[in-house]
Structure 1
Amino acid sequence: MITRRWLAAGAGGLLAVLAVGLFPANAAAGEPAAKESPKVELVLDVSGSMRATDIDGKSRMAAAKQAFNEVLDAVPDEVQLGIRTLGANYPGDDRQVGCKDTKQLYPVGRLDRTEAKTAVGTLAPTGWTPIGPALLGAADDLKGGDATRRIVLITDGEDTCAPLDPCEVARDIAAQGIHLVIDTLGLVPDAKTRNQLLCIAEATGGTYTSVQHTDELSGRVKQLVDRAATPVVKPVATEGAKSCEGAPKLGAGLYSDRETFGEHRWYRVDVRPGQELRASVSVSADRAVNNDYGVLLRASTTHGREIVRGSEAGDGRTDAISTGLRYPKPETGDEDTGADGKPVAETVCLQVSNSFAAGPSVKTTPGLPVELTVDLVDAPDDASDVASFGLGRGWWLLAVLVLAGFLAGLVWGWISRWRVSVWRTN
């Protein structure tokens, strides 16, 4: 009897242990997966020119170190941060060796502030300025995962390792569709440096900042690191077709693509009765282009009849050009219904075209960055809001103008006849 009681107690205890061990695991399994941490890599120029003493009476290197210490103290806990240098190790004159001088100083991951500060404190202005290789290395450091990724490049001069053009490197990174943003900061930059850093930033949707003081540098880098921790909507990479028939079908969302000079790309969107399609497109000039260009966004039926269009022209004063359109599809009450009981959707073909052109020395590949936004909302109840041949409420204005012109013609005709009759009488 005693043996049975011990066996029963042991079995009960075992079940209790299993229950305690299993149920939390099952609960944890039902929880959503942890969100990936954003990644940032700071790329610092440690070339010989950083010895110049023109930032608040200190050398550029000293200003950068002070700013880095302040930035490292303020990095949000959720950000994985790394540091890469360029021109920090080779002091010689061999260009081939100097242009490979880029190294990860601190690996991308959870930040140990003391270790990172110690690593930065050992740096001294040394060698060349291989910006292109450093960007390639930083992009490789940030590979993997779907988290926000950002490179912050801090330099005081333009790249000295052509023909590997850092601007072309940035375009190639952008063309990979990995949504990696490069922000650039120029320390007391000249015109050539500014233009190159602007090009790098614009190619990936980043920003360029000119820095003259230490507090400007630390403040801007802090801002960019904080921005990486802020949730953003990432465009979904897609590839438009040469005709509507083979075009990808898009739902509401933000999409990115590449379009060569003068190209037409097609996409499809299903619009149900009672919905309004709102679409906009932006095309960025991420390289030198000729003045006078434009972008067209056109909605048409699958049979080619144009529904509505939006267009915009530019003259070289902006780096991006945008346009949009709206197409409300009203409910008529006699629509066909599908198997789900909902009205059958109309397939609308969206055509994106550009009229950019460039000189013979400008690379045409990869294509220009395209960002397409598609939204489907409830259509307006008022019939006057429904677009008729693309004019929408413009029909009211047109009708008023026609009526006003007709009445003005009658009045003017009556006055003219009256003046003629008076002249004849006299």
Structure 2
Amino acid sequence: MASEAIVPQQKNNEVKPKNIIADGRNRRVLQDIGNFVKERGAQGKKPITKGVANVAQSVKGGGGAVTKEVATQRKVVDKVDKDKPKPETLIVMSSDEKTRKTGHVSRREGSSRKEVKTLTSILSARRKAACGLTNKPKDSIEDIDGADVGNELAVAEYVDDIYKFYKFSEDEGQARDYMDLQPDINAKMRSILVDWLIEVHCKFDLMPETLYLTMNIVDRFLSVKVVPRKELQLVGISAMLIACKYEEIWAPKVNDFVFISDNAYAREQVLVMEKAILDKLEWYLTVPTAYVFLVRFIKASILSDDKMEDLVFFLAELGLMQYPTVVLYCPSMLAAAAVYAARCTLDKSPHWSETLKHHTGYTEDQLTNCAKLLVKFHSTAAESKLKAIHRKFSSPDRSAVALLSPAKSLLPNHGELF
């Protein structure tokens, strides 16, 4: 009778122990998702075997059929536990308080942080890939901007794109052949004007950018406006006034230009000409002159010193004073030819490197004709009546580069003229 009171009702050969704890009472409080191996055992439903054991204890000594059935169920449960796959060790995705206490995750397993690349290195890698530098030998093209990566003013991440845009837009800011449109002006008068403007530039101690922008404004204005001979000097000082306002921090006053021109023009005339120039050029003053290319190409000329730099500017200003070089060659080619002629004059080896070819975009053969013109101007500068440039670069402050012998490899043979 005792066994009948203890044994529960059976349905479909299934035994339901009385003291099985409800699943809801055995659940943990909801926390961050964790997958520790030890915690899985605590959350599993083990009361099944425990309940079977209680039933077996309660029927000890009574009811052989019940004991046999309980033993059969225990074998089944043990077989299920034995065949149950072992939990895999997973990486913990959370870092709650329990995780920190148990410390199951090692530092190596928990640290999934990778080395982060800086924005500068990423942009530099993209720039090199876009330019094709990654497919070229490392020794052929040197990275001239590597030392300026930390310098914000050098904008090493964008400098190549900037100069690509300069080369793309330089044709828009270059003056065309205009001497046929000027009945009262010729190339010699222009050279005289440039010679005088270089003296004014030195007198006011202006920036080199100002000189190149001044001549760009003069040439572009003369290409769209007929100017009488008596107003050519007025165009020159008005163009320099505009360039000073654009480039200089402390621009000279209008009266300074009137005084330095020996009062040949009144103040009102200078202001009227300034407005006329700006109107004809439609205020388009942001143009790539030869100076911006000179700075870049000198930097690409590896191991360049002060003497090399002064010689490049000497040859470039000689070309700036001559009308044929200004209208025949774009600013970037004039700058590249000045660097090439300077390297030939100083006998730099090689005369033209892969680095210069890459950054200038010109080969040695493309620069030969323009470089020969610059060397010819160098050879005749001492005997020329226009001596402003020769005096400027004969001083020790300019390394006296005007006194150097011209490049023999670029001089014409047997008195041949260009």
TM-score tier (shorter): under 0.3
Based on CA coordinates, which of the two structures has the bigger radius of gyration?
2
TM-score using structure 2 length? 0.20
TM-score using structure 1 length? 0.20
Structure that is richer in helix per residue: 2
